[in-house]
Amino acid sequence: MPYFDAASSQPLHPVARQALTAALDEGWADPARLHREGRRARILLDAAREAAAEAVGCRPDELVFTPSGTQALHTGIAGATAARHRVGRGLVVSAVEHSAVLHAAAAHERDGGTVSEVPVERSGAVAPRRYAASLANGTALACLQSANHEVGTVQPVAEVAGTCREAAVPLLVDAAQSLGWGPVDGPWSLLAASAHKWGGPGGVGMLVVRKGVRFDPPGPADAREAGRSPGFENIPAIVAAAASLRAVQEEAAAEAPRLRRLVDRIRTRVPELVPDVEVVGDPVRRLPHLVTFSCLYVDGEALLHALDRAGFSVSSGSSCTSSTLTPSHVLRAMGVLSEGNVRVSLPPGTTEEEVDGFLRALPEAVTAVRDAAGVPAASRVGASAAVEEAGAAEDGGKEAAVTVDALGRLCPVPVIELAKVIGDVPVGGVVTVLADDDAARLDIPAWCGMRGHEYLGVDADGTTYRVRRSAEQGGRGMS
């Protein structure tokens, strides 16, 4: 069964497994003790730190191991902002940061700090100039991921880091998704990562704080890991994490181009095979193994289950997943379709045959989900027919407006109902959609863009949407 959810967690790399097994026999003792067992454990820990630092591109004494990447992010944000409280309490983040960063930002705000959120372009990338404009006086810390976890867009970290340096603001980089493909360029100040993202064991994160960066570790002082990550080190897991990071970076030169070609095939073929699909994220500046697309008129949870039954494990940022009833904050910030969202992230070793099998299974799965939702058969209304309908409307043959009541109904129902009735108004007529599902704020405008209709906006109540029917109807499938 192909596992296509490597962006969430990768299978344990063979090098990690070997290192973990070997370190279990030698790394169980307390590395702070002076007896021989302690010294052996200390040697393993120091060697792992040196290997990890070389892979990151930092000094060994700048890197500490944490219980997770989330903990590394929380510690990094809390420690950097606390150390610079005399400069100010401002924190700058992009709108598409990992939820761990946004949760830390919310905690910072509750503690009296301020948070500036930098919007992104439709590709998911920040504009360096816009980011620079957010670095006001009193900014204690800026945060920017190296690559997005959901859509794979690579951020202009080097440019932003240079701007931050000029403004004397430290930049924390979340490198969890990209570090396995290579070091992060630019004069960044802090960096966080998580081993399970590159094939290391879970429960190991890394936090790097460059020399000269002011840092005040949160919580009670601890003698371990430079006082920045309290608790007994899991040395076998740390050794496996460092060994696998070096291994995957060495393999990246050959694996990255191969996976990029497979992802390019998915990006090209999915819109050809499935009507009404939007592929999201930057098509060029992206991670080599990840592609995300959204399907109109599709319940995301139902689609994931259908693909799972077909033998493919994928994930979703859709609003229609069991873990959340609101759209992914990343898709919302990008302003793209959230319905039927699928994230495909290929682990190393994925074959062309596995990708072709996915491309064969996807159309059938989407069709089955649409049929189960009662989506009508696909149809297109040509310009001549639209003109005839407009004329009929002038003669009183059609009503000028239609209202769809989808209150209390979740994605993708509001858009499905809108698609069903758009043909009941003449060109220039208006459909009013009543919907209180949060996903409608993304999906109705996105549907209009895909189908060529004019989105007139949402009323102040946040539940009344208006769409004007256009003579031009792009895309394939339903009008």
Residue 282 and residue 242 in one domain: no
Supply the pTM of this predicted model: 0.86
Please choose, from the candidates 194, 121, 130, the residue with its C-alpha nearest in 3D space to the C-alpha of residue 154: 121
Tell me, what's the pLDDT at 109? 96
User: Does a structural domain hold residue 261?
Assistant: no
Sign of the C-alpha dihedral, residues 175, 176, 181, 182? Answer: positive
**Same domain, residue pair 354 and 414:** no
Cα separation, 59 vs 364, whole angstroms: 52
Based on the domain organization, do 204 and 343 belong to the same domain?
Answer: no
Same domain, 76 and 211: yes
Please give the pLDDT value at position 385: 35
320 catalytically annotated:
yes
Using CA atoms of 311, 314, 318, 324 in order, give the dihedral in degrees to the nearest 10.
Answer: 90
Please say which residue of 372, 401, 436 terminates a domain.
Answer: 372
**369-408 per-position pLDDT tens digit:** 999 888 876 433 333 333 334 344 444 444 467 899 989 8
pLDDT the model gives residue 299: 86
Element (DSSP H or E) covering residue 362? helix 352-372
- pLDDT, residue 437, reads 85
Q: Which residues of the chain have pLDDT under 70?
A: 318-326, 377-400, 472-479
CATH code of the domain in which 357 resides: 3.90.1150.10
Please give the tally of structural domains in the chain.
3
The structure tokens listed for 393 are 């409307």
Q: Which domain holds residue 450?
A: 383-468
117 and 54 fall within a common domain: yes
pLDDT of residue 390: 39
Question: Which is the catalytic residue, given 58, 143, 164, 320?
Answer: 320
